[in-house]
Structure 1
Amino acid sequence: MTTTELYLAAMLIIFSAPYLIWRGLRTDYYAPLVVVQIIGGVLLGPGVLGAAFPAYYATVFTPDVITALNGVAWWAVMIFVFVAGLELDLSQAWQRKAETGVTAGLALATPLLFGAVVALGMIRFPGWIGPQGQTWQLVLGVGMACAVTALPILVLFMEKLDILRQPLGQRILRYASLDDIAIWGVLALILLDWERVGRQAAFLIGFAVAAWAVRWIMKRIPEGDRWYVALIWLAACGLAGDWSGLHFMVGAFLAGAVLDARWFDQARMDLFRTHVLLAIMPVFFLSTGLRTQWGVGGLMVFGAAAALLVASVTGKLAGVHLAGRLLKWPKGEASVVGWLLQTKALIMIIFANILLDRQIITNETFTALLLMAVGSTMLTIPLTTPRLARLAGRVRKDG
């Protein structure tokens, strides 16, 4: 078969297998299609199906096919991260800065601390730190991975629960938005390269000037042109971010964060995000699955994933419950907020991909983080739904 035929065969597998599983097993309640696609990428990768049927893996996923898939995956995830940055609404967070700051801070710091403790236990054994990584980078990176909330997936889940436009949903978005900013700030710190510090300073200065110019242009052109200019801006920021050593996805996030969502029609933005998830993000999920490895032993990887999952879930719930006590929230509200903020999936996987690209973590650490993210995300809807119903019942009873 030619490379083109193998590429199309891979695309056929990428799009058909997860969809058939999702529809056939009716997993939508606990595992939406996006989660099934992530799991499908793991199963199709070298760690599972590739290990069981090496001939299939070697035949379909040749180096040329993987290179072509990676190109699509890079652009897909850049667009996705750009939209996540664009949808941040910092004005709402600023208007309620005390309440938002307390909740977002505790919801981030507590699971980060719990995850860092697990990471300190992991480094007692070989195979978790990458060749370019240092102990503090692994500990901070793993801790931050446990603290992440995936804002785009959170939006999808709250739409599903019909609370996105309600006051509670808007509050949760504010908390997640601040945590999103912290994620990329911590990532920039971890990736800080003293050999390239001049480039990174030049990038930040040049970005500030260019952002001012782009904002000036955006205000003066029709909305239809804004979409195309935004993609040009995205490619330029990704290129500059990677050139500086910060990684192209840091540039992609910043490209979206400095633009105002109000410049784009909300319905078109929602449709655009849906189309990106539908048409090209599955390729990223597969390329993520191709990175899963079990070199330090399957039981060790699963054990690390379980410990990280416990740290992530308990840390997030503890932090949010503490915020609820300090701010005197109604009974049951902290549980709903805490479980909704468990959504990790995409943003955590993107975060871990960058650490893997920079060889700060190993494939085994990446696999443990990936399993933790999938498990945490799958818990969200089943454990939020009954708590949300009880909270709504109390609100109706209290009038």
Structure 2
Amino acid sequence: MNPVSLFFAQACLVVGTPFILWRGLRIGSIVPLVAMQIVGGILLGPSLLGALWPQGWQALFGPAQLSALSGLQWLAVVLFAFLSGLHIGGAQQPGIRRIAMAAALGSVLVPFALGTAAGAWLAYATPDAVGHAASAWQFAFAVGVSMAVTALPVLGAILREMKLSDSVPGQLAVGCAAFSDAAIWLVLSAILASAGRSSSYDFLRLACLGLAYVGAMLWLVRPLLARMLPRMAAVDARLALVAVLIFGSALISESIGLHYILGGFLAGVVLPRDAAGELRRQLEPATVVVLMPFFFLMTGLRTDIAIGGQATLLVFGLSTMVAVAGKVVGAALPARLAGLPRREAWMLGALVQTKGLMEVVVLGILFEAGLIGMTAFSGLLLMALATTVLAKPLTRAAARLRER
């Protein structure tokens, strides 16, 4: 099979497998497509396809056959980060600002604290879970970060499917997810930037360049875009300009020592809000449905559930309990204390524990940086799948509280 034929065979399997499973099993009302995309990446990896058909798997997805897919996964992640940035600073229903602030802070701080404690225990109980470049406390903070994630694009799809987009819990959940996205990208960039840096000069240089870069994006690029975009009547011209913005921002961010995901995210943050809706409609379907499965494949190729055995299951069980409890309690209780009715507060808590795409991206970055090992990566990936699947049933259960 020549390289072109191989690439399109890979593309058919990567994009088609999760969609066929999702439609064939008739689980669309319960499980979002992104959950099946995560499953598809695992099924095409060594955990299933590699174990059942080793020779064919090596021919299709062996290390020598993946060079064409690396660029696609980078493109997918940077566009996903950009789409996350577009949600920052959106309109909010009047009268719920105080509730939104309380819920947003709680939905990040509580699961982060609980996750860090769980990570500290796992570092001693399962040493194989710790990444090769991490100390026990670095690993604990990495687990805490992974617990604080809420996947905004997946949450948006769930809200649309459940007709909750205009509801108070839905709007609050979007605000919490946007705050979570901003906090996670910044914390991740700080962790990645400082990992392995022994020189205070290097850290000071990075801090100065990072501040200059963020300042230029906020106070130079944003006003320039606000003037240029309204004058460009052609849709394809605006899209081309935004694409150059995304890739250029990612290039600068990566070049100065920050991760390219921060560049993509910041490009979404500085884009004028009146252009955000149109760009989401243009980019989100292709990014989520077509490009992100390639990232999930590369993630699935790293995932071998059999390697960790019971340790992987321990990480999965503990992290799932911590993630669900931390998000539900962390969002629902502060919102309830701030004045949100009981039913809406628990619906909010159920919605924001959706991990989905964002969690998989975070885990991939933590694994590549050596902060978590294969055991933790596999267990936390299963946790991301479980919490995404649980979002709808938990929300429906919370919605019945008043009726009962």
* Fold shared per TM-score above 0.5: yes
The structure 2 residue matched to 1:218, chosen from 200, 211, 225, is 225
The residue aligned with 1:174 is 175
The residue aligned with 1:251 is 263
Quickly say closer, same or farther: Cα 1:93–1:66, change in 2 above 3 A: farther
Quickly say closer, same or farther: Cα 1:188–1:91, change in 2 above 3 A: farther
Q: Percent identity?
A: 32
The residue aligned with 1:327 is 338
Give, in angstroms, the shift of residue 256 of structure 1.
1.1
Q: Secondary structure of the equivalent of 1:220?
A: helix
The structure 2 residue matched to 1:368, chosen from 379, 382, 387, is 379
Indicate whether 1:287 and 2:298 are aligned: yes
Quickly say closer, same or farther: Cα 1:94–1:174, change in 2 above 3 A: farther
Letter in 1 for 2:241: V
Indicate whether 1:260 and 2:272 are aligned: yes
Give, in angstroms, the shift of residue 30 of structure 1.
2.4
User: Does 130-139 or 377-386 show the bigger shift?
Assistant: 130-139
RMSD: 2.2
Check whether the contact 1:93–1:100 (CA below 8 A) recurs between aligned residues. no
The residue aligned with 1:397 is none
Check whether the contact 1:203–1:240 (CA below 8 A) recurs between aligned residues. no
Following the alignment from structure 2 to structure 1, what is the Cα–Cα distance between the partners of residues 345 and 365? 32
Letter in 2 for 1:169: G
The residue aligned with 1:234 is 246
Check whether the contact 1:104–1:175 (CA below 8 A) recurs between aligned residues. yes
User: Does 341-350 or 127-136 show the bigger shift?
Assistant: 127-136
Check whether the contact 1:313–1:376 (CA below 8 A) recurs between aligned residues. yes
Give, in angstroms, the shift of residue 141 of structure 1.
1.4
The residue aligned with 2:185 is 184
Q: Secondary structure of the equivalent of 1:137?
A: helix
Following the alignment from structure 1 to structure 2, what is the Cα–Cα distance between the partners of residues 288 and 7? 17
1:109-164 CA distances to partner (integer Å, 9 max, x unpaired)?
11112212221121112212222222222111111211211111111110111111
The residue aligned with 1:70 is 70
Letter in 2 for 1:183: I
Give, in angstroms, the shift of residue 85 of structure 1.
0.3
Quickly say closer, same or farther: Cα 1:169–1:294, change in 2 above 3 A: closer
The structure 1 residue matched to 2:329, chosen from 287, 306, 318, is 318
Give, in angstroms, the shift of residue 192 of structure 1.
3.0
Quickly say closer, same or farther: Cα 1:201–1:93, change in 2 above 3 A: farther
Following the alignment from structure 2 to structure 1, what is the Cα–Cα distance between the partners of residues 181 and 95? 18
Following the alignment from structure 1 to structure 2, what is the Cα–Cα distance between the partners of residues 268 and 360? 34
Check whether the contact 2:185–2:261 (CA below 8 A) recurs between aligned residues. no
Following the alignment from structure 2 to structure 1, what is the Cα–Cα distance between the partners of residues 174 and 253? 27
- 5+ unaligned residues in a row in structure 2: which ranges? none
Indicate whether 1:122 and 2:134 are aligned: no
Following the alignment from structure 2 to structure 1, what is the Cα–Cα distance between the partners of residues 49 and 80? 28
Indicate whether 1:152 and 2:162 are aligned: no
Give, in angstroms, the shift of residue 350 of structure 1.
0.9
The structure 2 residue matched to 1:297, chosen from 308, 311, 320, is 308
Quickly say closer, same or farther: Cα 1:95–1:260, change in 2 above 3 A: farther
Check whether the contact 1:6–1:60 (CA below 8 A) recurs between aligned residues. yes
Letter in 2 for 1:173: V
Check whether the contact 1:29–1:382 (CA below 8 A) recurs between aligned residues. no
Quickly say closer, same or farther: Cα 1:168–1:337, change in 2 above 3 A: closer
Quickly say closer, same or farther: Cα 1:330–1:154, change in 2 above 3 A: same
Q: Secondary structure of the equivalent of 1:50?
A: helix
Check whether the contact 1:304–1:368 (CA below 8 A) recurs between aligned residues. yes
Following the alignment from structure 2 to structure 1, what is the Cα–Cα distance between the partners of residues 251 and 76? 15
Following the alignment from structure 1 to structure 2, what is the Cα–Cα distance between the partners of residues 60 and 122? 35
Letter in 2 for 1:379: L
The residue aligned with 2:210 is 203
> Normalising by the residue count of structure 1, what TM-score does the alignment of the two structures yield?
0.91
Check whether the contact 2:98–2:338 (CA below 8 A) recurs between aligned residues. no
The residue aligned with 1:48 is 48
The residue aligned with 1:141 is 142
Give, in angstroms, the shift of residue 245 of structure 1.
2.7
Following the alignment from structure 2 to structure 1, what is the Cα–Cα distance between the partners of residues 54 and 104? 45
Check whether the contact 1:127–1:296 (CA below 8 A) recurs between aligned residues. no
Following the alignment from structure 1 to structure 2, what is the Cα–Cα distance between the partners of residues 210 and 113? 32
Quickly say closer, same or farther: Cα 1:388–1:94, change in 2 above 3 A: closer
Following the alignment from structure 2 to structure 1, what is the Cα–Cα distance between the partners of residues 23 and 307? 35
The residue aligned with 1:356 is 367
- After TM superposition, list the pairs within 5 Å mapping 1:68-107 onto structure 2: 68-89=68-89, 92=92, 97-107=97-107
Following the alignment from structure 2 to structure 1, what is the Cα–Cα distance between the partners of residues 97 and 337? 15
Give, in angstroms, the shift of residue 385 of structure 1.
2.3
Number of residue equivalences: 392
Following the alignment from structure 1 to structure 2, what is the Cα–Cα distance between the partners of residues 78 and 187? 14
Q: Secondary structure of the equivalent of 1:332?
A: helix
Letter in 1 for 2:364: N
Q: Secondary structure of the equivalent of 2:302?
A: coil
Give, in angstroms, the shift of residue 211 of structure 1.
4.1
Check whether the contact 1:93–1:174 (CA below 8 A) recurs between aligned residues. no
The structure 1 residue matched to 2:284, chosen from 273, 279, 288, is 273
Q: Secondary structure of the equivalent of 2:128?
A: coil
Give, in angstroms, the shift of residue 177 of structure 1.
1.6
Letter in 1 for 2:208: A
Following the alignment from structure 1 to structure 2, what is the Cα–Cα distance between the partners of residues 287 and 94? 43
1:286-312 CA distances to partner (integer Å, 9 max, x unpaired)?
111111134753221022111100001
Letter in 2 for 1:102: A
The residue aligned with 1:13 is 13
1:226-251 CA distances to partner (integer Å, 9 max, x unpaired)?
32222111111211222233211122
Indicate whether 1:2 and 2:2 are aligned: yes
